Amino acid sequence: MFIKRGHYNKERTTDRSNPILNNPEGKSFQVTYMSAFIWEALDGETSINEISQKIEETSKVDKPELSNIVESIVHQLRDVGLVGRIG
């Protein structure tokens, strides 16, 4: 399981910009809305498959491809310190 780290930087995110997330070291990352949605859902209890199912309900991407996309985004977020692994 994965858990989000850092915080959503609402002060620097404007109506016209993509979301900005800060890792615990204070480094800022501008991410896509899908990445921010996935990051927000990483609570240490929700699996990647469950997150994929939530996205699938509102998108036209087929499930096998979507699971790969979500997993890739989680790993990218982990690489910059915005996600930690638990368990």
Instruction: Tell me the two tokens of residue 15.
Output: 């109506």
Instruction: Tell me the two tokens of residue 84.
Output: 């930690």
pLDDT at 9: 87
**Sign of the Cα pseudo-torsion (68, 70, 73, 74, in order):** negative
Among 82, 83, 86, 48, CA closest to 68: 48
Domain containing 6 equals 2-85
Return the SS3 of 28: strand
Phi, psi dihedrals of residue 54, rounded to the nearest 5°: -65, -40
Our count of domains for the chain comes to 1
Per-residue model confidence as pLDDT tens for the chain (87 residues): 999 999 998 777 667 789 999 999 999 999 999 999 999 999 999 999 999 988 988 887 777 788 899 999 999 999 999 999 987
CATH number of the domain that 80 lies in?
Answer: 1.10.10
pTM of full prediction above 0.85: yes
